[in-house]
Amino acid sequence: MISILIPTYQYNVYPLVKKVHQLITKENIDFEILVYDDCSPKKIIENKKINQLDNAYYKVLPKNLGRSTIRNLLADNAKFEWLLFLDADVMPIKDDFIRNYLKFFSEKYDIIYGGIKYTPKRPKATQLLRWHYGNSRESLSCEKRTENPYLSFLTLNFLARKSIFQKIRFDEDIPNLRHEDTLFSYHLQSFKVPILHINNPVYHLGIESSLEFLKKSIESVEGALYLKKNDLIDSNYIRILSFHEKLKKLKLDYLIDRLIRKNLKQIEVNLLGNKPSLLLFDLYRLYHLIQFEKNA
């Protein structure tokens, strides 16, 4: 009936698998849990305990495949028609998590997104940027997500009918630059595959440091530009690309570039501090987009 698919990399995913296993066992349905480790250099011993659970399988891949390819491989090897994709660093919030997805098996929708939340407890000062961003930009109500169903879709907690997923799949040809989920949702929109948004969130527990998040955000900007340059996505689909195009039409990109460059150090101090501004974060990303395009 359902295959639960979890890619992982240098992360103790056993607590998640144990929790999900407990929840799905109560439902008395056919299931499997597949966990693939993307050739982590540092092995997590506790993950081997996954193989002791009924219908749960943990496998370390012989080489690193990247976020897109490993998800496609999990789907290829899944034996059931419904696929539940979960990121390794999430955790179901409520005990009816699996049951809430099962309710929609007979619905007309082939892609169902449950949503994401962040724990209300304020993290360490060094993690505030990621936590603040997640709460403001990702942790959206079901109603808010439904207003823009494709752009608000994230791949860390979604259910897919396998026959439909195999027609879309994650693009394995793009660099590993953190926009595989954006391109996947863009393809869903292009193929007119509707997304049903429901209130069935997970907690995102893997909050990286503000410094690491800035690094990943710059990679994400580079990835967005790659998609645009290679005509893989419409510029209007990604907000930062759309905004940049408007600036260029108004011939304001050079002025913005100079303004941000002049204050770059102060912006970085703010983003790494106790009260990070998401407006400054957006300007920081815009600055790096301008640099990538100038140097392309």
What confidence tens digit (pLDDT) does each residue in 220-243 have?
Answer: 999 999 999 999 999 999 999 999
Residue 108: predicted pLDDT: 86
Q: Other CB atoms closer than 10 Å to residue 219's CB: what's the count?
A: 16
Dump pLDDT digits (tens) for 182-231. Answer: 999 999 999 999 999 999 999 999 999 999 999 999 999 999 999 999 99
Q: Does the pLDDT of residue 273 top 80, yes or no?
A: yes
**pTM score, whole prediction:** 0.95
The predicted structure's pLDDT at residue 179: 87
Which candidate, 183, 179, 158, places its Cα nearest to that of 169?
183
Q: Tell me the one-letter amino acid at 216.
A: K
**Would you say residue 41 has pLDDT above 80?**
yes
SS3 1: coil
pLDDT for residue 23: 98
pLDDT of residue 111: 97
* Domains of the chain from N-terminus onward: 2-204 (3.90.550.10), 210-294 (no CATH)
Higher pLDDT, 43 or 269: 269
Cα–Cα separations (whole angstroms), residue 116 to 9, 92, 128, 188: 20, 9, 17, 20
Q: Is the pLDDT of residue 71 over 80?
A: yes
What pLDDT does residue 65 have? 95
Q: What is the pLDDT of residue 295?
A: 85
Checking if the pLDDT of 296 tops 80, the result is: no
pLDDT at 284: 97
| Cβ neighbour number for residue 296 with a 10 Å cutoff | 9
Where are any strands of DSSP class E within the chain?
A: 2-8, 31-37, 56-60, 82-86, 90-92, 111-113, 116-117, 157-161, 195-197, 202-204
Nearest to 203 by CA among 138, 253, 249, 150: 138
Alpha-carbon distance of 83 to 8, in angstroms, equals 16
Q: Which residues pair with 197 in a beta bridge?
A: 113
pLDDT of residue 250: 92
Residues in the chain: 296
